[in-house]
Amino acid sequence: MRRDAHGRGMRRPLLAVALPGHRTRSERFDEIVADASERLATRWSSQWGSLEFGVEDVPPSDPAPWEQGVPLGRVLPGEYGAPTRVVLYRRPVVQRAGEEELPGLVRDILAEQVGHLLSIRPDEIDPDYGAAE
């Protein structure tokens, strides 16, 4: 903790914990992913079985052979009783979208990944797929 000139430290936080500005960018991104995944879960959770959604900062350095460029998300099959995971990579996604476009891009990436998992087109997974925010 940094202290002021008198050695007392900060007297109070700059923003109250309840205010939206108190959350970090990664916390806001996690919230967007949670909202989008809950939206899909209401319609598709009975068909996808054991599935988890997650966020990682960056993709691994060894891309899959079929991936061109930097992936924005990936389906990781479950093994040995572990659930299948849909992972979004925060930094590449945030670099491709502004603040207003981010929820739409996250929604589209999740629709593509769940569509891949269920062998269904993304626009069938989410009717708003590809729609501008």
Is 90 part of a structural domain of the chain? yes
Average pLDDT over the chain reads 81
Q: What tens digit of pLDDT does each residue of 83-107 get?
A: 889 999 999 999 988 888 999 999 9
Is 130 part of a structural domain of the chain? no
CATH number of the domain to which 120 belongs: 3.30.2010.20
Residues 6+ apart with CB under 8 A from 123: 111, 129, 130
Average pLDDT over residues 7-27: 66
d(CA 8, CA 25): 29
Residue pair 103/35 in contact by the 8 Å Cβ criterion: yes
Quickly list DSSP for 89-114.
Answer: EHHHHHHH--TTTHHHHHHHHHHHHH
Is 30 part of a structural domain of the chain? yes
Comparing CA positions, the residue from 52, 58, 59 lying closest to residue 34 is: 52
Q: What is the pLDDT of residue 11?
A: 59
Is 85 part of a structural domain of the chain? yes
Residue pair 89/71 in contact by the 8 Å Cβ criterion: yes
Pairing of strands 51-56, 73-76: unpaired
Give the residue numbers spanning the domain of 82: 24-58+70-125
Is 133 part of a structural domain of the chain? no
- Number of domains, the chain: 1
Does position 111 have pLDDT exceeding 90, yes or no? Answer: yes
Q: What is the pLDDT of residue 14?
A: 60
pTM across the whole model: 0.76
Q: What tens digit of pLDDT does each residue of 18-69 get?
A: 666 666 788 899 999 999 999 888 888 777 778 889 999 988 877 667 667 7
Q: What is the pLDDT of residue 61?
A: 76
